[in-house]
Structures are given as structure tokens and as C-alpha cells.
Amino acid sequence: MLGDGMLWLAEAMTELADALDAGVGDADYATAVTARLTELVGPLEAGILLADESGSLTIGAAGSQRAARLLAAETRLAEGPCTSGFADGGELRRGFLPALTARWPRYCLAATDAGYRTVTVLPVRRQDAVLGAVVFLGAEGEQIGDDEYALAAVLVRLAAIGILDRRALNAGAEKADQLQRALDSRVLIEQAKGALAARLGVSPSAAFELLRGFARRNRILLADVAGQVVDGVLTDDDLRAGKNSKAAQHSG
């Protein structure tokens, strides 16, 4: 099993890396992870619940319709193995659902009604960052083996690393875009300020106050006012007068 397992792990890692390179979202990535885990642990059924970036367990994927229905029930009930695994980052290995009714009474009832008897939980985590949890569900007598458990733990850990890295990359790109927009606005304001100062024979600070005063009185963004000055939509007389209907229409 070990040799086959390592081949499976290598193929799964390659597939998930390719998915990240393709820019898939969390939901599609969760589906890819679940498909690989289901392939590993059959006849057990696998499912995953991931927290979105607001911290709510809203992203789910399952290897069967039955498991998908139970994941939906867990999110609705706000109790169960994935919910607990996400909350405390703990593992549960080869749990027996009838023995867990005190912990998850409504979930265990739903799970046993669906025909499940055993449960194993792996948190999706990287160090202290817990992103969700993976659950393996089995009927009577079906339990995850030691080799499968070890391989699943490695893949789930790698999945957590991939998700966090992609989110960090997206956040960095968004921040860079925000900074670029701020820089572009600043450059535009400086252009307008310099042009006004030269034309009116005033200091740059006085030209800036003229721009800012117009923006405040007309409830227009300062960068928009600067752009209208540079584009010739606003004239010097408009700025002195403090209003211009054409400029207001242009900004809307």
C-alpha cells in the first residue's frame, strides 16, 4: 500500500498545484481535494467544510450526495465534526457516532439516520491557522486505515498551505491595486495643483486649497476635480466661483 500511496500522493499534489495555478476559487479547490480523498479512502465517504474569508463555514464539497446532504445539515445545525474541528483545530480518529451523541446530539441523529456509524475528522490547518475540516464517514465496521489516514493528513495539510498562499497572493494583488490607484490619484492632483499655481500665480498650497474647497462644496472626489482641471472640464473661473454644472454632470 505504501508504494501505491506515495504515487497517489504525488499525483494528488500535482493536480492540486495545477488547480491553484489555474486560479480556481475555494469551492472548486475543495471539490478537487474531496475527490482525491474519496479516491483514497473508499468505501468511506469524504467531505470538507471550509471557512470563507469572513470566518464562516460556508464552502463545502462532498464525495457523494449522501455526504453532501449531511454537510448541509451540519452547517444548518451549527454542530458536528467539521464545526468542532474548525473551532478547536483538533482531530478525531475513528469515532463511533452513537458514542458521540452527547457532543453532537442533532448531528449524530442526522448522521445515523443517513446510515453512517463511524467518523474521522482532520482539521484543515497550517500551524495556528485553521481553515475548516475534512470528515470521513463510514457505515458499520468501516474505518480509515493507518496508511490512508497518514496520506490524507499530508494532503490536507498541503491543501491548507495552498489555500493560505493563494489568499495571501490575492490579498497582495488587491493591496497593490489599491496603492496604484492611490498613486495615480496623487499624481493627478499634483498635476492639477501645479497647473493652477502656474496659471493663477499662487503658491502650490493655495492651488491645492482651491481644488479641495471646490471638491468639498460640490461633494466630488478631489481626484475627480483634479482630473477635470487637467482635462479642461473645469476652468479657473469655475474653481473661483465654486461650482460648475458641467463638472458635476461629468463626475456623475
Cα separation values, 158 from 27, 35, 123, 194, Å: 16, 15, 12, 53
How many angstroms separate the CA atoms of 58 and 192, rounded? 47
State how far the Cα of 181 lies from the Cα of 57, in Å rounded to an integer: 33
Q: At 64, list the grid cell.
A: 457523494
DSSP label at residue 123: E
- Whole-structure pTM value: 0.66
The angle that helices 146-200 and 222-231 make with each other, rounded to 10 degrees, is: 50
Q: Is the per-residue pLDDT at 108 higher than 90?
A: yes
Residues with Cβ within 8 Å of residue 169, at least 6 apart in sequence: none
End-to-end CA distance of the chain: 66
- Residue 12 belongs to domain with CATH number: 3.30.450.40
Q: What is the pLDDT of residue 251?
A: 45
Closest CA to 62 of 143, 116, 108, 5: 116
* Amino acid (1-letter code) at residue 137: L
Give residue 133's identity as a one-letter amino acid code: A
Residue (of 99, 98, 158, 169) closest to 134 by Cα position: 158
Contact by Cβ (8 Å): 97, 143: no
More confident residue, 198 or 65: 65
Do the domain assignments include residue 173? no
Q: 470521513: which residue's cell?
A: 136
Per-residue confidence (pLDDT) for residue 114, from 0 to 100: 94
Q: Please tell me whether residues 233 and 204 are part of one structural domain.
A: yes
Q: Once rounded to an integer, what is the mean pLDDT over residues 191-217?
A: 83
Q: Which domain holds residue 156?
A: 2-168
The answer to whether residue 156 sits within a structural domain is yes
pLDDT at position 99, please?
93
159 shares its domain with 131: yes
Q: Please state the domain count of the chain.
A: 2
Average pLDDT of the chain is 84
Per-residue pLDDT at 245 exceeds 60: no
- Closest among 71, 144, 147 to 110, alpha carbons compared: 71
pLDDT of residue 169: 65
**Most confident region among 74-88, 136-150, 218-232 by mean pLDDT:** 74-88
Nearest C-alpha neighbor of 121 from the set 93, 148, 100, 141: 93
Residue found by looking up cell 473661473 in the block: 237
Q: What is the pLDDT of residues 139-171, one digit of tens each?
A: 877 888 888 999 988 888 888 888 877 776 666
Q: Are residues 157 and 41 in the same domain?
A: yes
Diameter of the chain measured on Cα atoms: 89
Tell me which of 126, 149, 168 is where a domain ends.
168
The share of the chain scoring above pLDDT 90, in percent, equals: 30
Rounded to 10°, the helix 204-218/222-231 angle is 110
In a domain? residue 211: yes
Which of the four pLDDT bands, split at 50, 70 and 90, describes residue 71? very high
User: One-letter amino acid identity for 209?
Assistant: E
Task: Assess whether 12 and 60 both reside in one domain.
Answer: yes
